[in-house]
Amino acid sequence: MPARNILVINCGSSSIKFALINEAHSDFVLSGLAERLGSPDAQLHWQRGGEKDSLILPNADHRVALAQVLPLVQSAAGGQLHGIGHRVVHGGEHFTAACRLDALSLSAIRATAPLAPLHNPANLLGIEAAIKLFPNLTQVAVFDTAFHQTLPEHAYRYALPEYLYREHGVRRYGFHGTSHRYVSQRAAELAGLPIGNSSWLVAHLGNGCSTCAIVDGQSRDTSMGLTPLEGLVMGTRSGDVDPNLHSHLARTLGWSLEQIDTLLNKDSGLLGLSGLSNDMRSLEQAREQGHAGATLAIEVFCYRLAKSLAAMSCALPQLDGLIFTGGIGENSPLIRSKTVAHLQLLGLALDEQANVSPVRGASGAIHAPGHPRVLVVPTNEEHQIALDTLELLEA
């Protein structure tokens, strides 16, 4: 059988990220981004081999953009596309693993939309457009939440009246599951340990950030909750705040729910603390020039991250290693170093020489000799979605 080609689609409300993956190659055959969909500035950018190209698609919606992607995919795949894997943010309690898309699973994804009102409807736009364009292909949904369905009840329940959980699904779900799963498997391979008999802490640090405790290949706790706002300081999200902040702001400043939502999701985190940027690279540069807000944002980010990792360690029988991943985790020696410095009680220490040496895109061990492993492992959610899709093609 020739090596199969899988198209991976990640749809946002106004964007589509896509990657064509051939099972015999680690690099993407084709990848791209359609952005500002629904606006006069809608554009499509793509990359094949070393070549980049783009197209202006005024007012294109998801369907129009995907229709433009179709001939690119067919040409890059030599006419041999075997399946499509879609990233879906929220699978609720219904989805504990990836699933084939059919009328039944589609209606279950629709039913989950109230839990992820910003994300699931956008994911569905891509799915529906792709099914119309490729009606005869197997299409698969891979959920950010599914990996965390192994959390024990004491980790996923909030201390709230039970009916809110039973009748309204108010519980901790966790996100970034595809990334936590992928990097923990890669880390076990790198360490020469069986994933089914090893214990890991993971820090996924991108624009969104979360930690995860993984035992024997299963998620046992994670820092995000009902929504991706809970937990760590992120690019523009506050992470944990006192839940009474809502009523405090409403009472003292007369703010509406929408204003508070915007504050916590869009104006807070690194951006809010620094008053400068949500981008860690920019903050590191500003810190070097003595910017007080950037310096504070980095200190709070690392301390809160370390606190979360220490909390996650409660779920582990032993620690086989801490994994850093995501744009910040993979590329920032400063953040890794400052975070690990708060975790001496877990026995963690870095080899600072090794910490500054992993090159972009490569995995590496950065712990000091005689201390628990600390690994940098680049995440590759598209690759994991393609693997899940391949597995369901065979099922």
- Smallest separation (angstroms) from ligand ADP to the CB of 355: 13
- CA-CA distance, 267 to 19, in Å (whole number)? 30
Query: Residue 68 has what DSSP assignment?
Result: H
Instruction: Tell me how far, at minimum, the Cβ of 356 lies from ligand ADP, in Å.
Output: 11
Cβ distance to ligand ADP smaller for residue 27 or 153: 27
Residues in the chain: 395
Using alpha carbons, select from 263, 326, 338, 329 the residue that is nearest to residue 300. 338
Nearer to ligand ADP, 92 or 208 (CB): 208
CB of 303 to ligand ADP, least distance (A): 17
CA nearest 125: which of 37, 59, 41? 37
Of 154 and 360, which CB lies nearer to ligand ADP in the complex structure?
360
- In the complex with ligand ADP, the residue whose CB is nearer, 69 or 297, is 297
Largest distance between two CA atoms of the chain = 67
Q: Is 221 a catalytic residue?
A: no
Rounded distance between C-alpha atoms, residue 86 and residue 92, angstroms: 16
Binding residues for ligand ADP, rule: CB under 6 A, are: 206-208, 235, 279-281, 284, 326-328, 331-332
| Of 25, 89, 101, 183, nearest in space to 389 by CA | 101
Side-by-side strand order, sheet with 374-376 = 218-222, 209-215, 199-205, 321-325, 374-376, 364-365
Q: Which two tokens stand for residue 200?
A: 């890991």
SS3 265: helix
Spot the catalytic one: 61, 102, 144, 216. Answer: 144
Which CB sits closer to ligand ADP, 254 or 361? Answer: 361
Residue nearest to ligand ADP (CB): 327
List, by residue number, the catalytic residues: 144
